[in-house]
Each structure stands twice: as C-alpha cells, then as structure tokens.
C-alpha cells in the first residue's frame, strides 16, 4: 500500500487557528474549521488522518514536542515547512486564507486540482465532488445528491459520506440538508449550531422554526445539467 505523506500546517487568522494538511505537491488532503484551540484542531485532523492507514503525518517542528506531550504516542514526525517545497509556505498560506474566507461566508472556489481525496470509495468521491458544486447562498438536500448518484435510496449513504468529509469548507458539506428544510447533522465541533451560522454568513435565511426557507433550496441536478 502506497503511503501518502501529509504535512499539517497552521497559522492564526484574527485570533483563530486555521489548519490543513497538504501533500508535498501542495494538494489539500484534510482541513478543519478555524478554532481558538490548537489541541482541538490537531485532534480533528488526527481523527481524519489516522482513521485510515495510508497516511504518514508530519507536524511543524516548532510544535512537535507539544503534540507528543498532548497526544502521547501518536505517530507524527517533525518537519520544517521551508524545506518541503520552495512554494510550500506561499501556497499553504494562500489555502489557509481561502479556508478562512469561506469560514467568514465569502465566495471561495477550490478547484478539483487543489484537493486530493485519498482513502475514500468511488461513491464517496462522487458525493464529495458533487457537494463542491453547491453555490454559496444556497443548499441542496441529501436526497437530491442521492438522486444524482443512482436514486433516493442512497440518501443515508450520502449523509454518511458527508459526516466524514475530510475537507470542511473546501467541500461545503454544511450546504446539504434534509428535504423538509431541517439542517440534519454536522460532524464538526459545534454541530448544527455551527452549520446554521455558516449558512447564515453565506446569506441563507431561515423560518421561525429554524428550517431553511424554500427559496434557498436548489436542485443541484438543474444547476449542473
């Protein structure tokens, strides 16, 4: 089995840590929502990466001792960002800027070439790539995505894939809800409270009982046909 080396990089943006994992070729492998806690960010990234056996995790040498003291015997090597690739720092910072801009509700585009979906099934890859097509300011439903992938009977499978989305914000799984306007789940820290906040920042509006208003729910099949 070919191992994928993932270089975790993090910086602060407006007092929040923003982090992501990159390959040496500077493709995004994983990310988290911004947080005031480095420990929380690293726990989320490790959970994503170490659940699969194909990743070798590397951490900036400046925090490797903190990682080992906090997470015990977790396998992670230190690295110097400047030695990974001559473009590593500039590209990683640009990607973190994009992730933070998405967090704030701005329109951000991540191309297929900027991400790497490793260790996921073909079905999961199809779900995640379709989710990238949902426009800012709108949502679609689990059943609509399922319909594009073979039928509404796959709605639960779609939800399961999105609950393990390795690239929140880059792949906007918060824009997928139940058919009746309820938000459904959100696996990131903060749950549906954060999901609602993200949608509100993007301009989505809700009814008094907390459901997405119908005019913000689109059929993705019509947008990409």
User: What are the pLDDT digits (tens) for 82-102?
Assistant: 888 889 999 999 999 999 999
**Residues 128, 161: contact at Cβ < 8 Å?**
yes
* Strands annotated E in 85-215: 140-141, 176-177
Query: Of all helices (H) and strands (E), which one includes residue 18?
Result: strand 16-22
How far is the CA of 183 from the CAs of 11, 106, 191, 205, 212, in angstroms?
A: 30, 20, 10, 12, 7
Instruction: Give 32-64 pLDDT, tens digit per residue.
Output: 999 999 888 988 888 888 777 778 888 888 888
- The CATH number of the domain covering residues in 120-223: 1.10.10.10
* pLDDT for 9 beyond 80: yes
* pLDDT for 1 beyond 70: no
Mean pLDDT, rounded, for 173-189: 92
Active-site residue numbers?
173
Across-strand partners of 35? Answer: 17
Across-strand partners of 201? Answer: none
The pLDDT value given to residue 211: 96
Q: Which percentage of the chain shows pLDDT scores above 70?
A: 97
* pLDDT for 217 beyond 70: yes
> Cβ neighbours of residue 20 under 8 Å, at least 6 residues apart?
8, 9, 10, 28, 29, 30, 31, 32, 92, 95, 96, 99
Domain ranges of the chain: 4-112, 120-223
More confident residue, 86 or 217: 217
Fold annotation for 4-112? Nucleotidyltransferase; domain 5 (3.30.420)
The pLDDT value given to residue 72: 66
* Strand order through the sheet with 4-13: 28-31, 16-22, 4-13, 55-60, 77-79
Instruction: Give 100-155 pLDDT, tens digit per residue.
Output: 999 999 999 999 999 999 888 999 999 999 999 999 999 999 999 999 999 889 99
Q: How is the chain split among helix, strand and coil, in percent rounded to 5?
A: 40, 20, 40
pLDDT band, residue 225 (cuts 50/70/90): low
Residue entry with tokens 């947008």: 223
Total residue length of the chain: 225
Q: How far apart are CA 92 and CA 89, in angstroms?
A: 5
Query: Where is average pLDDT lowest: 70-79, 104-113, 177-186, 211-220?
Result: 70-79
Q: How high does pLDDT run on average in the chain? A: 90
Q: Which percentage of the chain shows pLDDT scores above 90?
A: 66
> Cβ neighbours of residue 203 under 8 Å, at least 6 residues apart?
105, 136, 137
More confident residue, 76 or 147: 147
Across-strand partners of 114? Answer: none
**Residues 18, 10: contact at Cβ < 8 Å?**
yes
The pLDDT value given to residue 73: 60
167, with CB counted inside 10 A (0-12, 13-18, 19+), is buried
pTM of the model: 0.93
């Amino acid at each position: 089995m070919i191992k994928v080396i993932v270089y975790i990089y993090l910086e602060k943006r407006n007092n929040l840590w923003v982090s992501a994992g990159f390959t040496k070729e500077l493709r995004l492998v994983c990310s988290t929502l911004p947080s005031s806690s480095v420990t929380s960010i690293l726990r989320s990234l490790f959970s994503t990466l170490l659940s699969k056996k194909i990743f070798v995790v590397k951490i900036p040498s400046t925090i490797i001792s903190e990682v080992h003291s906090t997470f015990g015997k977790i396998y992670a090597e230190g690295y110097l960002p400047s030695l990974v690739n001559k473009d590593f720092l500039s590209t990683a910072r640009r990607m973190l800027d994009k992730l933070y801009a998405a967090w704030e509700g701005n329109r951000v585009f991540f191309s297929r070439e900027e991400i790497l979906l490793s260790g996921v099934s073909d079905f999961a890859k199809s779900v995640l790539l379709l989710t990238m097509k949902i426009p800012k300011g709108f949502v679609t439903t689990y059943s609509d995505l399922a319909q594009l992938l073979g039928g509404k009977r796959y709605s639960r499978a779609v939800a399961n894939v999105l609950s393990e989305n390795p690239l929140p914000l880059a792949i906007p799984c918060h824009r997928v809800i139940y058919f009746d306007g309820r938000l459904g789940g959100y696996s990131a820290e903060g749950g549906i409270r954060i999901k609602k906040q993200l949608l509100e920042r993007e301009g989505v509006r809700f009814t008094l009982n907390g459901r997405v208003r119908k005019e913000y729910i689109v059929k993705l099949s019509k947008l990409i046909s």
